[in-house]
């Protein structure tokens, strides 16, 4: 079975919406890393001249390849990701090997593909 790793970087207040949309689109689970910080194209300066970095979530979703497009599109829409600054980023990576997925694979084989 082929898998993709979807990585979604969004403001923490959008995490639940992204997770719900991903599950409805066919994801069987996710790992969430909270309180991530990063820098964008332009720094957000506070009135003290310090850079403000809002807390973000990094959502990692390992998904069967034929469901990847639907899950990534649903996550991006739910997260409000677009081409403007500061909305977040979503990306897809190929997975060469994955272990520890026996129960997930059984569940995927028992459910119809949503592609």
Write the DSSP assignment of 30-76 as a string of letters.
-EEEEEE----SS--B-TTSPBP---EEEEEEEEEGGGHHHHHHHHH
Q: How many domains does the chain have?
A: 1
In a domain, 8, yes or no: yes
CATH code where residue 72 lies: 3.30.70.120
In a domain, 18, yes or no: yes
- The domain in which residue 74 lies consists of 3-97
* pLDDT reading at 26 higher than 50: yes
In a domain, 58, yes or no: yes
Query: pTM for the complete prediction?
Result: 0.81
The model's pLDDT over 28-64, given as tens digits with 9 standing for 90+, comes to: 999 999 998 776 666 666 666 666 667 889 999 999 9
């Amino acid at each position: 079975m082929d898998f993709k790793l979807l990585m979604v970087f969004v403001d923490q207040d959008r995490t639940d919406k992204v997770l719900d949309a991903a599950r409805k689109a066919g994801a069987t689970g996710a790992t969430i890393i909270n309180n991530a910080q990063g820098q964008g194209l332009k720094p957000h300066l506070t009135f003290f001249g310090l850079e403000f970095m809002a807390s973000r979530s990094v959502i990692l979703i390992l998904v069967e390849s034929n469901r990847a497009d639907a899950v990534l599109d649903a996550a991006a829409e739910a997260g409000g990701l677009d081409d403007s600054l500061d909305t977040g980023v979503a990306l897809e990576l190929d997975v060469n090997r994955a272990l520890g997925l026996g129960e997930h694979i059984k569940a995927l084989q028992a459910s119809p593909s949503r592609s």
